[in-house]
Chain A
Amino acid sequence: MKRDWGIWLLLCAVVFGMPLFIRSPYYYSILIFIAIYGIVVLGLTLLMGYAGQVSLGHAGFFGLGAYFSAILTVHLHLNPWPAMGIALIATVLVAFILGIPTLRLRGHYLAIATLGLGVVLQIIFKEELELTGGPSGMGGIPYFHLSSITFSNDRKYYFLCWIFLIILYGLSINLVHSRIGRALRSISQNQTAAGSLGINVSWFKLLMFGLSAGYASLAGSLYAHYLTFVNPSPFGFMASVKFMAMVVIGGSSSLWGALLGTALLTSLPEFLAVLEDYEMLVFGAILILVMMFAPKGLAGIFSWIYQTIRNKVKKQDAPAG
């Protein structure tokens, strides 16, 4: 708990310190995407790493957030803030309804069903031409305003996104270290035993499904009002796979690991841009290698290093003391 808040504080310091060193809007935009994806991935970590339920469809909820925001502001001329809130509520509602039959499934079947949901959602984005603009998308989505500030440049948007992320990260830390967090972890390890202790397994799974969809929706709204344009392609199966990969590569049962995974996988394509054609090859290889050699992800590697160093230090201290 203390360590989690320590990392949280460190993150705050980095977030507010970073602008001292960064000038280029290019780096800001990468950082903005890290924050947006990071929010999705935080939610997904709660669902996958803590409650132990796989989802291969979260890009669909990310898309729902983005499209609800876009439709409410463009077609109904709503202010972006309430639009974001309505999008959140609507997406969570959709997730609850879809989650009831879906979360009864386990293992591979759950993965397949969520995959199916994600694919169907993306097809809806493509086909509801009048609402969504179809495959070519819809533009003209307004920026966020806060009294006289318009969040139209990358620097301002950077702060907005990262403040959202920091708050959600903090709430997630609280959640993980609570009665509910414990219940979630017990569900992920043994559903039957959890149930026999009075833990309402299906309700908690549904709650986490809804919560993670809510995170994805907020991220989707942030995405839509940043680019002021949405089209269906970033909300497909590949995107869901990437979100899942971020969770797992970071280390699925650690919130900060998830953020690390997000940062890595979001910036990787930028570094690999020179080797454009190799991007997929490298991504696939990373997924396989990490799963083979570090199934607990980066967080696992870091805590292993931390433990080893601590043990060394202890050993050195022992003879002296």
Chain B
Amino acid sequence: MLRLDEIAKSFGGLKALDQVGFQVQPGEILGLIGPNGAGKTTLFNVISGILHPDSGKVFFREQNITGLATHQIAKLGLCRTFQNPAIFEEMTVLENLMAGYHLQGRSGFFSAILKPPWERKEERSIRERAMEMLSEIGLKGSAQAGAGSLSFGKMRMLELGRALCSHPELLLLDEPAAGLNHNETEELAEYIGRLRSRKITIIVIEHDMSLVMDLSDRIVVLDQGRKIAEGAPKEIQRDPAVLKAYLGEEDWIKSLRR
């Protein structure tokens, strides 16, 4: 589904990514972990085309997507969420989701200004589908609320729902549980679990170890821009290199061993 070949990216003198390579199989959930500043978000930015790597290649469904623009990559079926929920705060919750259906729509400039019947029909169907998504993510009551007025947890759900609207085959989630309370985290975990049955491949960055360990089929660990381990959750928990990377962060080690 996704293959990374020796990705490198530096900011000034800082090597944010250093020869990172791994593969993701269709239908799997891959956890991406590592201490703060390890380069996880940077890797997502490279995969989704927001940043271009200094060297190395990204293959998505056997196609080389290195250097393509973000929207072109999205069109191929790859969507992501952001570490700080990047919702459109001045639009309503419903409109956020409808924007998520952008790739599903066909109407162009002339049908937008002239509004022929088929354009109206398309808009109606997008609206209906957005409403369905709204109840799926549990935000039905807030359809007409301004997205900026949602609680942080709901913003995260909204962003996730919006990403799903584009029917991605590969979904990148950047710390989806950060800032959520216990209940919200559980709901989220359950929801992501359900996505598995829809055959959506997922890479998830997460600091909540119990969540990643439960969800993921496999885990990749980054530290200071380098991949230091890859394997099943059980193996990762015992991997000496991983423990060393988290050295000094006692809580983490505890949560890893749990």
Contact = CB atoms under 8 A, between A and B. Distances in A.
B241 interface: no
B162 interface: yes
A111 to B, nearest CB: 21
A172 B119 CA distance: 15
Interface stretch (A132-140, A151-159, A186-194, A227-235): A186-194
B112 A174 contact: yes
Contacts of B14: none
Interface in B63-80: 69-71, 74-75, 79-80
Given A174-B114, A197-B79, A179 B126 contact: yes
A190 B88 contact: yes
Contacts of A84: none
Interface residues of A, number: 27
Contacts of B111: 178
B50 A197 contact: no
Given A197-B102, A199-B71, A186 B112 contact: no
Contact of A198 (B50, B71, B113, B123): B71
B99 A197 contact: yes
Interface in B144-189: 162-163, 165-166
A175 B112 contact: yes
Interface stretch (B25-33, B54-62, B89-97): B89-97
Contact of B70 (A179, A183, A196): A196
A196 B74 contact: yes
A224 to B, nearest CB: 25
Given A185-B91, A192-B70, A199-B71, A179 B102 contact: yes
Interface residues of B, number: 40
**Main secondary structure on A side of the interface with B:** helix
Interface in B96-141: 98-100, 102-103, 105, 107-109, 111-115, 119, 122-123, 126
A14 B187 CA distance: 55
Contacts of A171: 113-114
Interface string A194-205: 111111111000
Contacts of B70: 192, 195-196, 201
Contact of A186 (B48, B99, B103): B99
A261 to B, nearest CB: 20
Given A197-B103, A198-B166, A199-B102, A180 B71 contact: no
Scoring A178, A194, A207 by chain B CB atoms within 10 A of each residue's CB, the highest score goes to A178
A174 B79 contact: no
Contact of A190 (B86, B103, B112): B86
A198 B49 CA distance: 11
Given A174-B114, A179-B123, A179-B126, A195 B90 contact: no
Contacts of B123: 178-179
Given A192-B50, A196-B74, A198-B102, A179 B107 contact: yes
B82 interface: yes
Contacts of A172: 113
Scoring B82, B88, B162 by chain A CB atoms within 10 A of each residue's CB, the highest score goes to B88
A182 interface: yes
22 contacts: A174-B114, A174-B115, A178-B115, A178-B119, A179-B102, A179-B122, A180-B108, A181-B112, A183-B102, A185-B88, A189-B88, A190-B86, A190-B87, A196-B71, A196-B79, A196-B80, A196-B163, A197-B162, A197-B165, A198-B71, A198-B79, A198-B102
Interface of A: 171-172, 174-175, 178-183, 185-186, 189-190, 192-202, 207, 253
